[in-house]
Structure 1
């Protein structure tokens, strides 16, 4: 065999994992992480019956991995036991970078050429990178297959789904200062009051600085810290129905008795969006795996494990238990993502949290929020951070996903996490989407007027206007065409048709510079000759004083446009301006009623 471990310019890059009966998937997992660029792989096993430990022993004989028995003290779970052993393991102590993660997790580096070396080059003097999960579902695959996990399952929860934001941490390990943990390491207590915490510089999965609190506690990302531009941890917790059945009867590394039921499947079987970024490794992983299988011992163990599990699965398929499990999982797949709850929410107890804080944490927490917190990245921002309430960019609705439809002001809207940012999704779920704007709609537009709706999003206010005003006509414009596709879905679902009263224009109006934006808006205004312009884009709010508005009675600025206008846009002439609900209404005549 010609395969040799990678030599990294960043020293020893060590992957540490815990496994129980993972033989059918082991070689792919190892091959993938060798392709990613780990220089060493260390695996602890307990109670294996399928040859997992024998395969790892052989990999160690070949110089491609290391195996350790997880000797478990009475009363201790396997995973904490393995972590305790790793804490004093020389391989771990000598490593330059360590990542502790599970057998159903595959690291996917989106930065550069996809290797650890490339990402660590960019990390500079940082000593940790916090990598957030992407939860991958079954992709509606039922039957067992020998195809690679990373090629079979290409559908996942949307990146904005906060229940999928658990993390794993790649970091510079020193056993003198750090105590290992499954999600992130913790500073040993004796170093909390020293200068050591000041030396910690951790980045998130997009290469941005983590907030200070994460030095001390937390195991998941929040909106201000989540990011995937550099790396993500693909979490294949369920795989196919047959794979899930196999996991159910073989158990798991942490002995959780109730883990493999329909509730857990519903949580983890998320298939709302396609994510195939990990396919960048497919060729290299296959080549490494093919080389591994040239070893006769590994090859015999690998195929024996596959045949053994397939034989057992064939027997299990003939039982009522399998049929019941399969039916329950298929039914659980139909549960919309908006109805999923990971655990019953626990009320936050500030006093209890404060009591657990070290003096260093308390000092950090006392700093002004503006110093401790940073704004979320645009893809995770919401209306509270100046966003428009939508997930930025084009909406991918190609995946088959069950979506809950919720009445909002007489219109049923899709409670779809692919469309709405989290706070806005909460409003949709409560039937309060754009509630104040909807209630005051007749203060903005009078029946029979012509309306140019710029940046109309999914057209909610436009459709509501058509519903409540029989003579009003609208041209709906939106820079993101997929949002207009959602509008058409909303119309179809609600069985709406407004004929020539509702026109649609998918051409963008926000251009590469201010002059292009003004020209685009003026061109539409000339064609439509509107009585009212309603706009949501921030650039329109900023440039409203430069628009050609002859014949326009009223300009209604909402969302980012209203916010930007309030921050100092030039007022258009002598026109009056006032706030109604969340909107800024600029009246160019006295025709607006004060009802």
Structure 2
């Protein structure tokens, strides 16, 4: 059996078995206490073997939640990640991560993004379907709106927001990437570059890269990324005011547009999508388990 070690924030090394189809999920988070348990539970239910969250100066209890869960579930790791003064904390965190991941596959998501492999039983089924000559799988967004909700006093994002944009919306050209770890050469916000192998969308066909992190066509070949960018106006504005982690502190581009007009552009509700409910049972089991860990603590 092959093992790898990831040092936690406290410095303890944890050996875990590396399986052929295992994957590590990486994220950077700032003040995501409201959402982090649901996000962790869902992706653990899918079958990610390790989830590493870079805690970027959170002040709302995110760190305590992650540390409590990590102490009782070795698949979860928190890395304290203060913002550097002259670099993107997001890119720096991703680069730090991919140099340490030793699972065969790596994926990077935001906390408002949920990988939904609706055409497969779980993450392993998706990975097993990827042709051997493919180095990176690029999964398009599906953008969800508020569904007319104005009150942020709900429990779960994935059960509350089911209205989404029509498929033709331009934002859906954006993607996030699942890549073979040993071929990664560079990490961008949406994209992962590799040394060799084909870059494909979820139909396993090549694509032309358009704008940064966007494809020339939109494909949902049995998998999509549910992107809950809007939620309610109050939540959207709170997220925008945290700033853009793609830029260092003090950079003028770090400030984000939190206006009602910008929210209206993203609050798309023309259709309904319930594909994420295919994973309701395993998600519920993981969610209740994590909540029990937090209650006992």
Q: Matches of 2:281 and 2:233 in 1, distance apart?
A: 27
Alignment of 1:28 with 2:42, yes or no, is no
Q: Matches of 1:112 and 1:56 in 2, distance apart?
A: 29
**Which structure is higher in RCO with an 8 Å CA cutoff and minimum separation 6?**
2
SS in 2 for 1:293: helix
Q: Please list, as runs of the form range in 1=range in 2, the aligned pairs for 1:30-429 lying within 5 A after superposition.
A: 30-62=40-72, 63-88=74-99, 90=100, 92=101, 94-113=102-121, 115-125=122-132, 126-174=134-182, 178-187=185-194, 197=196, 200-205=197-202, 207-211=203-207, 213-214=208-209, 218-223=212-217, 226-248=218-240, 250-251=242-243, 253-254=245-246, 256-295=254-293, 298-299=294-295
2:28 aligned residue? 18
Q: Which is richer in strand?
A: 2
Q: Which is richer in helix?
A: 1
Q: Matches of 2:276 and 2:155 in 1, distance apart?
A: 15
1:218 positional shift: 5.0
Residues 290-335 of structure 1 deviation map (CA, whole Å, 9 limit, x = unaligned): 111222xx2378xxxxxxxxxxxxxxxxxxxxxxxxxxxxxxxxxx
1:146 positional shift: 3.1
Preserved CA contact (<8 Å) 2:130 2:204: no
Preserved CA contact (<8 Å) 2:26 2:94: no
Number of aligned pairs? 274
Mind listing any 5+ residue stretches in structure 1 that lack a counterpart?
Answer: 1-5, 188-195, 302-595
Q: Matches of 1:253 and 1:217 in 2, distance apart?
A: 19
Gap change, CA 1:123 and 1:87, over 3 Å in 2: closer
Q: Matches of 1:294 and 1:241 in 2, distance apart?
A: 30
Instruction: Give the alignment's TM-score, normalised by structure 1.
Output: 0.43
Preserved CA contact (<8 Å) 1:7 1:39: no
Residues 90-137 of structure 1 deviation map (CA, whole Å, 9 limit, x = unaligned): 2x2x12100111011111112122x11111222231332110011111
Preserved CA contact (<8 Å) 2:241 2:256: no
Q: Matches of 1:39 and 1:86 in 2, distance apart?
A: 15
1:254 positional shift: 4.4
Q: Matches of 2:82 and 2:136 in 1, distance apart?
A: 29
Preserved CA contact (<8 Å) 2:152 2:234: yes
Preserved CA contact (<8 Å) 2:137 2:201: yes
1:9 positional shift: 5.3
Gap change, CA 1:217 and 1:161, over 3 Å in 2: closer
Preserved CA contact (<8 Å) 1:70 1:81: no
Residues 160-211 of structure 1 deviation map (CA, whole Å, 9 limit, x = unaligned): 2223311101010126x51122211224xxxxxxxx54xx123312x23113
Preserved CA contact (<8 Å) 2:163 2:269: yes
1:39 positional shift: 0.8
2:11 aligned residue? none
Preserved CA contact (<8 Å) 1:20 1:252: no
Gap change, CA 1:131 and 1:260, over 3 Å in 2: same
Instruction: Give the alignment's TM-score, normalised by structure 2.
Output: 0.84
Gap change, CA 1:249 and 1:130, over 3 Å in 2: closer
Q: CA RMSD in A?
A: 2.4
SS in 2 for 1:128: strand
1:80 positional shift: 2.1
Residues 556-585 of structure 1 deviation map (CA, whole Å, 9 limit, x = unaligned): xxxxxxxxxxxxxxxxxxxxxxxxxxxxxx
Residues 403-426 of structure 1 deviation map (CA, whole Å, 9 limit, x = unaligned): xxxxxxxxxxxxxxxxxxxxxxxx
Q: Matches of 1:235 and 1:229 in 2, distance apart?
A: 17
Gap change, CA 1:87 and 1:118, over 3 Å in 2: closer
